[in-house]
Amino acid sequence: MTAGARMHELVRRLHPICRSMTGDGVRRTLEIIGESIPLEVHEVPTGTPVLDWTIPQEWNIRDAYVKDRTGRRVVDFAATPLHVVGYSVPVHATLPFAELREHLHTLPGQPDLIPYRAGYYSGTWGFCLSDNTLKELQEDEEFEVRIDATLADGHLTYAEHVVPGRQADEVLIVCHTCHPALANETLAGIAVAVELAQALAAIPGGPRLTYRFLFAPGTIGSITWLARNRDRLGLVKHGLVLACAGDPGPLRYKRSRRGDAAVDRAAAYALRELEHTLVDFTPYGYDERQFCSPGFNLPVGLLTRSPNEGYPEYHTSADDPELVTPDAMAGTLAAVREIVEVLEGDRVYLNLQPYGEPQLGKRGLYTSPSLNRDNKQHQMAILWILNYSDGDHSLLDIAQRSEIPFAAVVEAAQALTEAGLLIEQSPEGGERT
């Protein structure tokens, strides 16, 4: 089975689960992810302070419906979890249409579709349905409504998966787990992250950097993780939030608040030959805004295909497994892996023979480009690296300036290091031991 097919199968499996900010749907989602990669699951009790927030009560739902006078379920939670407004309080009543109408949500501009709505922290309840279904309801009729749910002290659940590297410096990969029945907006990013984690774990000898995958509900989940990890945030050198990762739209990278962080430059380079858009940071979107809040200002960008609110199926029942494709998710995965390869390979070196060009022939590093044109790129990479390895320019800087492929620059740097002409600099500017 191809990576694209595996990711699509995972999306299909996760799609029917009713997820929310908390609850058993999140736990079940993490259980399924845990079949592919080991997870450390964290349960944070209701009432726990997290930065300026407090862990809310846990919400779980068993059943919900709107019945007409014949007993027919005209709105049925069993058909799709989108039919119930997330975090609705329990209700069981018989109401006239006029009173019920205040609790019904539709999309008049997309009359066949069911919207996604949530009522976090509001203490209310509601149903979502297609506008066409709404028009079929009799206004002179009474309806039985029931939301069999609990809102009680419990926990907020999130999970981490770590691929250890040779260095403690971390790359943070973030996916949110709180939205039900939204294949592209939520689940495609999870599927890409799972496949990426497996690929990183398969690298012989392990990756250079450490990769921490965070699966958490949006906003409150990332805020909780930040609150519980403040003493180790200095390890986070790069980060990506993955969302809207499976639709056919072009790739889109939103820069971190810093704008020129290494991950921003790596993403721009990795996407350069693909149809894509680069946009500057704004304090609206997904959880990049939590990691990029001014007190933390972490180097975390956002990778999507179509942006949130930027495709007609967004937050509707049309965001289903048919919208996402194996090829699109495979393309997103390939882009993320290219970003990772740049982060893995990018180093700053110091030329140990900076006075004039060192003699390459006696070190077995010189082949005349005029005699061996196939070696010209390698030879030019060596010359560029020697000239710009001054402790200030990274290999990515050199690849961009020389227009030599990054992989070829990395290969040439390795040859020069083995020949004793380069030494890697640590991020603090000293030699790396």
Q: Do 267 and 303 touch, CB atoms closer than 8 A?
A: yes
C-beta of residue 291 within 8 angstroms of C-beta of residue 239 = yes
Portion of the chain with pLDDT greater than 90, in percent? 91
According to DSSP, the β-strands at 422-425 and 348-351 are antiparallel
Summarised one tens digit per residue, pLDDT across range 137-182 is 999 999 999 999 999 999 999 999 999 999 999 999 999 999 999 9
Q: What is the set of domains in the chain, with CATH numbers? A: 3-54+155-345 (3.40.630.10), 58-152 (3.50.30.90), 348-425 (1.10.10.10)
Average predicted confidence (pLDDT) for the chain? 95
Query: Under a CB-based contact definition with an 8 Å cutoff, are residues 110 and 76 in contact?
Result: no
pLDDT tens-digit readout, 37-46: 999 999 999 9
pLDDT at 371: 45
Residues with Cβ within 8 Å of residue 212, at least 6 apart in sequence: 160, 161, 162, 170, 171, 172, 173, 236
Q: State which amino acid sits at residue 25.
A: G
Any idea what DSSP says for residue 86?
B
Measured distance CA(383)–CA(405) in Å, rounded: 14
Burial class (CB in 10 A: 0-12, 13-18, 19+), 218: buried
Residue 433's pLDDT band, with cuts at 50, 70 and 90, is very low
Angle, alpha carbons 163-289-82 (nearest 5°): 85
Global confidence as pTM: 0.94
**Average pLDDT, stretch 311-334?**
98
Q: Give me the half-sphere count of Cα atoms (radius 13 Å) on the Cβ side of residue 4.
A: 12
